[in-house]
Structure 1
């Protein structure tokens, strides 16, 4: 483990520091899950800080490790990494602050303070997305030492940006929320559940709705697309030796993963739980699987160009 961590530290001290801070928060939040029995929206109050801390550990370490492979634009990359670290600490800090107060952090406009904090979170995530986009441009240009790794980084970062943007699907107020707001009644503005109220029955650990659609599924799939594609690219040499085939298969996997992101988001927007797909969703999934299998077969059977 020390070698990847040293590589990450060399790539971005700021992002490595962010990962360390989030690892510490992960421990604190885990203690909170055990010691604090308060519940908010049907889930333990410290579950959201725990999930965000864990997600940012992977997010920060992955980007820091990748930045160590940059050959150009390192100064800009260090600045972008520092921006991400600051905005992430502030974003998660608000989540922790609201959890400690027993208040919802997301979609909460019940009081002037809640509204200002929710507005600040929205602004921070825009800054974080833009800084991540800058890193995407730098890494897209430089790539990795091998072609398969280069495409894994490029397409994985695109999936990450798409997953972050998918979060915008949750901030639109529902008709019921708008009606309550027009009456001057305190309400949340936005929701992750579709077809059912937030806070209903959910899956273990993730809390994703088991009675309606849940937009957090696609958000999760997207923001961890980078790790998924990188892991696939790292394991692929165990069974595929030539770089040309590996590159093609990485591209196929990334597009299939993007298809999965679209599929689960579409399923959620139709008010359908992840664990209860209907025939239409299953047919779409089957089509995605078949298309992926055909593309993978073509990528494998296509002749490999001779080495220069």
Structure 2
């Protein structure tokens, strides 16, 4: 008898079947996170508690969406590796690090939301101070999986992939770590101001590093999209330079009010 699976690969839309084929573990992990958004959205509608003027459930919802996007992007890109590499120990280790570090972040953030307490910048006692430090380490490990994957893709290129798109993918993965980790390091000791845009909470007038952090950690999605729209290597390099310059501008704006 064939073993039962959580989501059979023969069902669902073609993009989902392809995602499962490319990296099943990360595909299912991202789907689980998206499924968890539904009860958290229900909690948001029923729970009026706020932290710094924002409903307590917004932060875990945003993190679930962001991590799911990261997991699915990683799964899709891993599909460009040869079959032997996809089944190998190195990719399995990368997947384990991604799931473990992301789960630690998400579980702690969600638990704190349920308790009506802050997860970030909550260092009033030894336990919460330790957890905030561990969150920073976990975030670093999570983003470090992206250049790790870039290294694997560079060593084992997919001959069917257009060169410009491959370059955009590799640059996006590397910049996700380089820009995302650097913004996260700057953001760690600097609590953002209150108020700002609805849901996102960003303050765009200065003193808020969250827009820069967002731009940094999503380079792996945005740069390949540009590579798809304009599949030329020169254009990809120009976009990567402009992307980094835009990130630097947002960092300068974020530091201007601190």
Tell me which interval the TM-score lies in, with the shorter structure as reference length.
Answer: 0.7 to 0.9
Choose which of 204, 207, 226 in structure 1 pairs with 2:201: 207
Map of 1:268 onto structure 2: 254
C-alpha spacing 1:12/1:191, structure 2 compared with 1 (3 Å): same
Choose which of 221, 245, 265 in structure 1 pairs with 2:215: 221
Task: Report the alpha carbon displacement of residue 7 of structure 1 after superposing the two structures with TM.
Answer: 2.6
Map of 2:35 onto structure 1: 24
Runs of 5+ in structure 1 lacking a partner?
A: 172-189, 238-245, 273-308
CA distance in structure 2 between the aligned counterparts of 1:139 and 1:28, rounded to whole angstroms? 37
Map of 2:174 onto structure 1: 158
CA distance in structure 2 between the aligned counterparts of 1:204 and 1:156, rounded to whole angstroms? 28
Whether the aligned pair in 1 keeps the contact of 2:29 and 2:68 (CA below 8 Å) is: yes
Choose which of 234, 239, 244 in structure 2 pairs with 1:253: 239
Deviations 1:192-229 (CA, angstroms, capped at 9, x unpaired)? 42xxxx3x221112101255421111010011111111
- After TM superposition, the structure 1 = structure 2 runs for residues 114-193 of structure 1, keeping only pairs within 5 Å, are 114-144=128-158, 145-165=161-181, 166-171=183-188, 190-193=189-192
Whether the aligned pair in 1 keeps the contact of 2:144 and 2:177 (CA below 8 Å) is: no
Choose which of 113, 121, 128 in structure 1 pairs with 2:127: 113
214-223 or 159-168, larger mean C-alpha shift: 159-168
Whether the aligned pair in 1 keeps the contact of 2:109 and 2:119 (CA below 8 Å) is: yes
CA distance in structure 1 between the aligned counterparts of 2:155 and 2:191, rounded to whole angstroms? 35
Larger Rg: 1
Task: Report the alpha carbon displacement of residue 126 of structure 1 after superposing the two structures with TM.
Answer: 2.9
Whether the aligned pair in 2 keeps the contact of 1:163 and 1:223 (CA below 8 Å) is: yes
- Number of positions where the alignment pairs a residue of Structure 1 with one of Structure 2: 241
Alignment RMSD: 1.9
CA distance in structure 2 between the aligned counterparts of 1:115 and 1:127, rounded to whole angstroms? 19
Map of 2:56 onto structure 1: 45
Map of 2:9 onto structure 1: none
126-135 or 33-42, larger mean C-alpha shift: 126-135
Provide TM-score, normalisation by structure 1: 0.73
Choose which of 78, 85, 89 in structure 1 pairs with 2:99: 85
Map of 2:4 onto structure 1: none
Whether the aligned pair in 1 keeps the contact of 2:206 and 2:255 (CA below 8 Å) is: no
C-alpha spacing 1:80/1:36, structure 2 compared with 1 (3 Å): same
Task: Report the alpha carbon displacement of residue 130 of structure 1 after superposing the two structures with TM.
Answer: 3.2
Runs of 5+ in structure 2 lacking a partner?
A: 1-11
Provide TM-score, normalisation by structure 2: 0.86
CA distance in structure 2 between the aligned counterparts of 1:234 and 1:212, rounded to whole angstroms? 33
Whether the aligned pair in 2 keeps the contact of 1:192 and 1:216 (CA below 8 Å) is: no
C-alpha spacing 1:256/1:210, structure 2 compared with 1 (3 Å): closer
CA distance in structure 1 between the aligned counterparts of 2:252 and 2:205, rounded to whole angstroms? 16
C-alpha spacing 1:58/1:191, structure 2 compared with 1 (3 Å): same
Task: Report the alpha carbon displacement of residue 80 of structure 1 after superposing the two structures with TM.
Answer: 0.3
Whether the aligned pair in 1 keeps the contact of 2:168 and 2:227 (CA below 8 Å) is: yes
Whether the aligned pair in 1 keeps the contact of 2:207 and 2:255 (CA below 8 Å) is: yes
